[in-house]
Amino acid sequence: MTSASQLLTEPTPEWLNAHAQSLLQFARAARHPLGFALLDAEGEPEPGHLELYVTCRMTYSYVLGEQLGFAGSAELVEHGLTALDTVFRDEEYGGWFEAIDEFGVVDSTKNAYPHAFVILAASAAAIAGYELGKKILDDALHLFEERFWDEGVGQARESWNREFTSSERYRGMNSNMHVVEAFLAAFDATGDAVWRDRALGISQHMVAQARRDNWRIIEHFDEEWRPLLEYNADDKANPFRPYGSTIGHWFEWARLLENLAGAIGADAPAWLHEAAVALFDAGVEQGWNVDGHPGFVYTVDWEGQPVVRLRMHWVVAEAAGAAATLFHVTGDERYVDWYRQWWAYAQEFVIDESAGSWWHELTPDNQFSDTVWPGKPDIYHALQATQFAQVPVTPGLAKSLVQR
């Protein structure tokens, strides 16, 4: 009988691992005295401030890089962890600053989205044996539980001011999706089932809503978790809070739901897998090649029609990851077909063989664009995509690579 690993051979593991090495090499230039800078299209550091989420995602990437044998990864992990423990940390009020530069704090807002990436990076580092990673993880989990976690609804609040005295009324599914990712990593790092169980609660909320709305995930809510369907109607291509439903998140959720089911084991509720399949199928039907050109549209409206037709690199990366994960779970060869097709698309249009890394944004006809995501800020999505076919569904990527 043919195994899942034998069927997922295009692109080959050798090519994927070599590509991972090239991504890690490209991203080395992001090292900045204070953390990690965003990179431009040529791989040069962007001048100006540093973003918390980028420093976290780059630190996480080099934890993976160390397991993949990329030379110099350990120093880059230590550098990222030190930045999180010093210049990004708010020693007075707790938590981590949104953005800093050489002169100090640029944005003191405390947002759930980058704080979830603090947990992800610290969890991966802790799994890999970094004592500073364990310290940051303990602090981040305590802070998240105290400030962001809303036990009454089983979801994360979106953001606070620096002093944690005023909370934004908006609630977001994007940040909660990354909280699920972070909590699963924390479960891998600590063994504490509370993080896995909270990830299940968030997921149950999302699935119940998406099921009612033809599997189009509502991203924006008010503080009572009432949908805001017209949110950002005047800023449809917003990089973090776009109008409508975001196709890439359907695939990202599909993978995370299967990761969660794997973490729960034999007692995992059946709806996790059912929802993962439904979200995957909806993403294919409503997102892929729907406007006469290859690629995924960025967003759709509440009738499933394309709104923002730009092609974002992270969407095809997450789609390939979801296809690999669902094939590992089901053995259904249709996921192999999609996996190969999406990697072929990435190789033809998205991977920049000249300057390196992936174009982060393309026009609807797959030409370079930088209206929403200028440059090539980080390698988080692309790097993970090289590994999902090569690791089991559970534990998470960092722990799977450490144990391999």
Catalytic-role residue among 178, 249, 313, 328: 249
Torsion of CA 130, 80, 250, 277, to 10 degrees: -20
Residues 6+ apart with CB under 8 A from 30: 36, 37, 38, 39, 45, 54, 58, 378
Residues 6+ apart with CB under 8 A from 16: 386, 387, 389, 390
Secondary structure letter of residue 352 according to DSSP = -
CB burial of residue 354 (10 Å; 0-12, 13-18, 19+): exposed
Residues in the chain: 404
Residues 6+ apart with CB under 8 A from 394: 259, 262, 263
Q: How far is CA 350 from CA 17, 254, 265, 353, in A?
A: 17, 22, 36, 9
Structure tokens given for 119 = 């947990």
Q: How far is CA 35 from CA 38, 62, 179, 333, in A?
A: 10, 13, 22, 42
Q: How far apart are CA 180 and CA 55, in angstroms?
A: 20
Catalytic-role residue among 19, 32, 360, 381: 381
Describe the chain by its helix, strand, coil percentages, rounded to 5: 55, 10, 35
Please answer whether residues 291 and 306 qualify as being in contact, where contact means their C-beta atoms are separated by less than 8 angstroms. Answer: yes
Please answer whether residues 83 and 34 qualify as being in contact, where contact means their C-beta atoms are separated by less than 8 angstroms. Answer: yes
Q: How far apart are CA 245 and CA 307, in angstroms?
A: 9
Q: How far apart are CA 398 and CA 404, in angstroms?
A: 10
Structure tokens given for 180 = 């699920």
Q: How far is CA 368 from the centre of its chain?
A: 23
How many other C-beta atoms can be found within 10 angstroms of the C-beta atom of residue 87?
Answer: 19
249 catalytic residue (yes or no): yes
Q: What residues act catalytically?
A: 249, 381
